[in-house]
Amino acid sequence: MNAIGLSGVSKQFGRFWANRDISLNIGSGSIHAIVGENGAGKSTLIRMIYGLLTPTDGSISVNGHVVRFTSPRQAIAAGIGMVHQHFMLIPDLTVTENIILGDERSALFATLDRKQAARKIKTISENHGLEIDPAIPVSELSVGEEQRVEILKLLYREANILILDEPTAVLTPSETGQLFATLKSLRNNGKTVILVTHKLDEVLSVSDMVSVMRKGRIAATEQTSSVTKGDLANLMVGRNVLLRTENPPEKTGKLVLKVSDLQYRDARGRQKLNGLSFEISSGEIYGIAGVEGNGQSELLAMLWGMIEPGSATSGSITVDNITLSSKTPAEIAAAGVSLIPEDRLKHAVIGEFAVGENMIFGRHREKKFRRFGGFDTNSIRSYTNTMIERYDIRYDKQSNPSLSSLSGGNQQKIVLAREIERPGLKLLILAQPTRGVDIGAIEMIHKKIIATRDKGIAILLVSSELDEIISLSTRIGCIYKGAIRQEFSPEDVRKGRSSEQDFEKEIGMFIT
Amino acid sequence: MKPVSVMRKRIISLVAPLFAVMTALLLSTLLIAATGRNPLMIYHKMLSMTFGSDYGTGQIVFRTTSLLLTGLAVAIPFRVKLFNIGGEGQVLAGVFAAAFTGILLPPQTHPLIAISICSISAMLAGSMLALLAGWLKVRLGINEVISTIMLNFIAQAFVGYMLTWHLSVPSTVHTPEIVQSAQIPMADAVIGIWRNSPANMSTVLALAACLGTWIVIFKSTAGYEMRAAGLQPEAARYGGINTDAHILKAMAAGGAMAGLVSTNLVLGYKHFYEAGLGSGIGFIGIAVALLAYAHPLWIIPSALLFGFLEYGGLTVNAYVPKDIFMMVQAVTILMVLVLTKKPKRP
Ligand SMILES: Nc1ncnc2c1ncn2[C@@H]1O[C@H](COP(=O)(O)OP(=O)(O)O)[C@@H](O)[C@H]1O
Ligand SMILES: [Mg+2]
């Protein structure tokens, strides 16, 4: 029996086909993963199943019956539920109230039977490992717990087909494990789960079937047990990709960055950094592993002179014995430091500016780009062209588009090119350098990072992707509650790389 | 898909103002017809008394000149996402400052020096007023729309008081004339056209201001930083740009442009300040800037259109109420806003 059947489904936006001729069967009582790079059309596909979009062509059936949903309401009635990437919960209401909201089953102005609802919620959560206290307000929950509430909401409404769009993007490693246990338990109880993700390890560890999407089409649908990570990656990109970046031994030089005893108390009085110290020498990559919210953002803010007003900080930061504390971003950059911030779109580029204008953004004070009171457009153009070639940046040059119309990977390459090629660079700070970037581009970005290290530049890498940290770093520091809790030496890391699973677990113990 | 949508955006931004003007014209035709007049007759009269005549053209040029400057006064701060509603007050401050300095100057001052001193003091006066609003914004986060409106009232009250109590020529509502050397020659006297109309050589100055502003905003490094600060303030700060400084600079420059209106009204035409001089010009400047998407060169045709509607309305006032043309102005702006707005729901 198929829970969902798609035959010849297409979706067109303007002249662009986001989904093209998709035929796919999702077996009842299975976990079916849909993988693909950003923009492959995964979200479009499930939004059609959930009634948020209507297909341009083709037909969708649920439990064998052809349906044509025009709104999610109809999908819900047919037993389909979806966990959105952005949760739709009301912070001031309790877990129970949030779950029954919109499904109160009582007449207007009649009292709610909260007790019975709470009992039902308790049973569901015990059966599927969805631990939660139904009586506390949602505002006190962690992100992982909020997601559990979203899933409970669907189960409370007796949804039989659950759709999750990139559910692990916001979770810690242990929360991810817990979520997967829940999904398996649901599957064993006969529910159907559609899991959208771009992380291949997750697919392999949890799904029964996997469909790979590429450029709006289904490239393949396979039994998960019969494919490898490499197969999936090749199918996603459409060519052979190396998942493991070549990482030759490094030659470490003299000390560049010295961070000692950083303290950071934010405007609301919360201690975000608590005696954080580490050092980086030239020619090495220092990876900071940790769950988000353990002080990474505050460390980056201090390194870049962007401390929030109202917060109290202390400690010292020096680059080549020049102190950076109380300097502005412009002065820090002039001292030979580059930062690739986490939120590229918000902090590293101007979406409306053209590619050339972004290529010099933050470096526009350099003499070689200037002429009289303005810019030397010839020098900027030739510099941009050089970078486009060196970093394999792809876009339609003829139309001189604004940056925001480039893909995420190409935008990130522009930022990377600009920051790596800064004259007199001593320290490169990378925050989540491959977030939202396609596998094909990740390979290239990782290579550039290693090459930069080999030019004798000190690199700080902050990433929540453990495999990225492990494959690139010379040394690894585990950040937990605003301090480095454990540091792994180059020997540890080299050894760890040969048995990555165990190493990830070991690191995991120090960051939670 | 992406390049297509970029192209489409560009085309929309070119066509929208034209379409808006056409719609407004259509509306005015209907309104004129509703008053019982023949729209064609009215348009014919209007054209022959404006662009069709030497004097009428001069009148339009004169009005356009002021609007170029108040348009810039709105457009420049708009680049850093600030909405300068204070054009009225800034024009007033400038006009008054120019008239006041013009009285004080010794009569034998060299014309170039006299004109420069008067214009600079007018620019400073307009600037100071705008800068105050900018400072309130940067320091305390006070909304510039509110503060500039309040400053309009303050400027009006102050200038009104100074005029009635200290500076007016007895039993009139104007100040004494400025010295001869501070007066900017009429267009008629220099190039021999637009006879008897108030058009004067300050138009050249206003056009130069548009060109200069365009160069600064789109070609200079300061303009690059300013645009970045307006489009993406957080990114600008990461890129080492002092966004607060750019907000202050943009407000100061906007106020200075409003102040420069005095070259047209006082130095070029009236030669004194009288109650009500320059009133309303600051507000129309908002419309001029909006229609031109705050682009310093598009402001030129935009100001010309509004200058034409302003004077054109007057010429046919005997047949149809000139208020019809005020409505046309307002409808044009509303249409542009509507056409360039992305719909909230797809
Ligand atoms: N409402 C829309 N209008 C136009 N294009 C869209 C719309 N939604 C998605 N797209 C385009 O469709 C493609 C696939 O998007 P999506 O389904 O979100 O991909 P994924 O979830 O795999 O990252 C992208 O190129 C995206 O820009
Ligand atoms: Mg998606």
Q: Contacts of residue A333 in chain B, CB cutoff 8 Å?
A: 240
Q: What is the pLDDT of residue A107?
A: 59
> Is the CB of B240 less than 8 angstroms away from the CB of A402?
no
Query: Does one domain contain both B283 and B187?
Result: yes
**A246, two tokens:** 């070549």
Domain that holds residue B167: 54-315
pLDDT at B18 over 90: no
Contact assessment for residue B251 and residue B40, using Cβ atoms and an 8 Å cutoff: no
C-beta A13 within 6 A of ligand 1: yes
C-beta A444 within 6 A of ligand 1: no
Least confident range from A99-113, B46-60, B208-222, B332-346: namely A99-113
Average pLDDT over residues B287-313: 94
**B41, two tokens:** 């007759």
CA–CA gap between residue A123 and residue B68 (Å, rounded): 72
Banded model confidence at residue B228, pLDDT cuts 50, 70, 90:
very high
CA–CA gap between residue B195 and residue B189 (Å, rounded): 8
> Is the CB of B238 less than 8 angstroms away from the CB of A347?
yes
Same fold, A2-237 and A255-511: yes
Query: Does one domain contain both B108 and B14?
Result: no
pLDDT at A102 over 80: no
How many structural domains compose chain B? Answer: 2
Nearest CA in chain A to B2: A405
Architecture of the domain defined by A255-511: 3-Layer(aba) Sandwich (3.40)
> Is the CB of A405 less than 8 angstroms away from the CB of B2?
yes
Nearest CA in chain B to A14: B1
Query: Does one domain contain both B198 and B300?
Result: yes
Which residue of B1, B3, B235 is in closest CB contact with A350? B235
> Is the CB of B240 less than 8 angstroms away from the CB of A328?
yes
CA–CA gap between residue A324 and residue A210 (Å, rounded): 49
Q: Which CATH number is A2-237 given?
A: 3.40.50.300
In angstroms, what CA-CA distances link A336 with A322, A329, A354, A415, A432?
Answer: 11, 11, 25, 16, 21
Task: List the residue whose alpha carbon is closest to atom 3 of ligand 1.
Answer: A13
A220: helix, coil or strand?
A: strand
pLDDT at B61 over 70: yes
Q: What is the DSSP string of A226-240?
A: G--HHHHHHHHHTS-
Q: Which residues contact B91 (CB under 8 A, 6 or more apart)?
A: B66, B70, B73, B126, B258, B259, B261, B262, B278, B281, B282
Q: What is the pLDDT of residue B1?
A: 38
Ligand 1 centre distance from Cα of residue A367 (Å): 41
Q: Which residues pair with A165 in a beta bridge?
A: A196
Which residue of A14, A350, A365 is in closest CB contact with B1? A14
CA–CA gap between residue B66 and residue B82 (Å, rounded): 21
C-beta A408 within 6 A of ligand 1: no
∠ CA(A125), CA(A127), CA(A132), 5° rounding?
A: 20
pLDDT at A256 over 50: yes
Give the distance, in angstroms, between the CA of residue A421 and the centroid of all CA atoms in the same chain. 26
Query: Does one domain contain both B187 and B291?
Result: yes
> Is the CB of B6 less than 8 angstroms away from the CB of A405?
yes
Q: Which residue has the higher pLDDT, B207 or B324?
A: B207
Q: What is the pLDDT of residue B176?
A: 95
Question: If we measure between CA atoms, which residue out of B265, B283, B262 comes closest to residue B326?
Answer: B283
CA–CA gap between residue A28 and residue B17 (Å, rounded): 56
What pLDDT digit, counting tens, does each position of A445-481 carry? Answer: 999 999 999 999 999 999 988 889 999 999 999 999 9
Query: Does one domain contain both B190 and B108?
Result: yes
Q: Contacts of residue A350 in chain B, CB cutoff 8 Å?
A: 227-228, 231-232, 235-236
Q: What is the pLDDT of residue A110?
A: 59
C-beta A404 within 6 A of ligand 1: no
What pLDDT digit, counting tens, does each position of A155-196 carry? Answer: 998 899 999 998 887 777 778 889 999 999 999 999 999 999
Contact assessment for residue B51 and residue B219, using Cβ atoms and an 8 Å cutoff: no
Residues 10-69 of A with CB under 8 A from B: 13-16
Contact assessment for residue B308 and residue B50, using Cβ atoms and an 8 Å cutoff: yes
Question: If we measure between CA atoms, which residue out of A143, A304, A196, A233 comes closest to residue A467?
Answer: A233
Q: If you count them, how many residues does chain B have? A: 346
Neighbours of B34 (CB within 10 A): 11
**Of A399-403, A405-409, B179-183, which has the strongest mean pLDDT?**
B179-183
What's B118's domain CATH number? 1.10.3470
Q: What is the pLDDT of residue B7?
A: 65
Which residue of A350, A365, A374 is in closest CB contact with B232? A350
pLDDT at B346 over 60: no
CA–CA gap between residue B16 and residue B19 (Å, rounded): 5
Query: Does one domain contain both B213 and B183?
Result: yes
Question: If we measure between CA atoms, which residue out of B338, B199, B177 comes closest to residue B268?
Answer: B199
What pLDDT digit, counting tens, does each position of A308-367 carry? Answer: 989 999 999 999 999 998 899 999 999 999 999 988 888 999 999 999 999 999 999 999
Average pLDDT over residues B179-191: 95
A319: helix, coil or strand?
A: strand
Residues 361-400 of A with CB under 8 A from B: 361-362, 364-365, 370, 373-375, 396, 399
Query: pTM for the full model?
Result: 0.79
Residue that is written with structure tokens 């740009």 in the block:
B241
Average pLDDT over residues A208-224: 95
Q: What is the pLDDT of residue A108?
A: 57
Average pLDDT of chain B?
92
C-beta A41 within 6 A of ligand 1: yes
The radius of gyration computed from the CA coordinates of chain B, to the nearest angstrom, equals 21
Q: Which residues pair with B14 in a beta bridge?
A: none
**B88, two tokens:** 């009225």
Neighbours of B30 (CB within 10 A): 11
In angstroms, what CA-CA distances link A306 with A250, A343, A367?
Answer: 31, 14, 25
Residue B309: exposure state from Cβ atoms within 10 A (0-12, 13-18, ≥19) = buried
Question: If we measure between CA atoms, which residue out of B96, B95, B90 comes closest to residue B149?
Answer: B90
User: Would you kindly state where each structural domain of chain A is located, as residue ranges?
Assistant: 2-237, 255-511
C-beta A42 within 6 A of ligand 1: yes
What pLDDT digit, counting tens, does each position of B82-117 carry? Answer: 999 999 999 999 999 999 999 999 999 999 999 999
> Is the CB of A364 less than 8 angstroms away from the CB of B225?
yes
Least confident range from A58-72, A114-128, A235-249, A397-411: namely A235-249
Q: What is the pLDDT of residue B5?
A: 58
For a ligand 1 pocket test, name from A44, A52, A404, A439 the mutation site with the most ligand atoms within 8 angstroms of its C-beta. Answer: A44
Average pLDDT over residues A8-36: 94
Ligand 2 centre distance from Cα of residue A214 (Å): 13
Residue that is written with structure tokens 């789960």 in the block:
A193
Average pLDDT over residues B282-305: 95
CA–CA gap between residue A272 and residue A140 (Å, rounded): 19
pLDDT at B249 over 80: yes
Banded model confidence at residue A237, pLDDT cuts 50, 70, 90:
confident
pLDDT at A250 over 70: yes
Q: What is the pLDDT of residue A104?
A: 59
Average pLDDT of chain A?
91
pLDDT at A434 over 80: yes
> Is the CB of B222 less than 8 angstroms away from the CB of A373?
yes
C-beta A411 within 6 A of ligand 1: no
Ligand 1 centre distance from Cα of residue A44 (Å): 6
Query: Does one domain contain both B31 and B77?
Result: no
Ligand 2 centre distance from Cα of residue A45 (Å): 9
pLDDT at B8 over 80: no
C-beta A247 within 6 A of ligand 1: no
Query: Does one domain contain both B261 and B113?
Result: yes
Quick check: B345 contacting A, CB < 8 Å? no
Quick check: B37 contacting A, CB < 8 Å? no
Nearest CA in chain A to B216: A374
Quick check: B125 contacting A, CB < 8 Å? no
> Is the CB of A341 less than 8 angstroms away from the CB of B238?
yes
Contact assessment for residue B296 and residue B210, using Cβ atoms and an 8 Å cutoff: yes
Least confident range from A3-12, A87-96, A293-302, B304-313: namely A87-96
Query: Does one domain contain both B274 and B297?
Result: yes
Query: Does one domain contain both B10 and B111?
Result: no
- Element (H or E) spanning A19, and its range? strand A16-27
- For the four alpha carbons of B49, B53, B59 and B63, in that order, the dihedral sign comes to positive
B257: helix, coil or strand?
A: helix
pLDDT at B3 over 50: no
pLDDT at A112 over 80: no
Quick check: A429 contacting B, CB < 8 Å? no
CA–CA gap between residue A214 and residue A398 (Å, rounded): 26
Residue that is written with structure tokens 């001089």 in the block:
B277
Task: List the residue whose alpha carbon is closest to atom 16 of ligand 1.
Answer: A41
pLDDT at B341 over 80: no
Banded model confidence at residue A109, pLDDT cuts 50, 70, 90:
low
pLDDT at A436 over 70: yes
Q: Contacts of residue A370 in chain B, CB cutoff 8 Å?
A: 221
What pLDDT digit, counting tens, does each position of A263-300 carry? Answer: 999 998 999 999 999 999 999 999 999 988 899 999 99
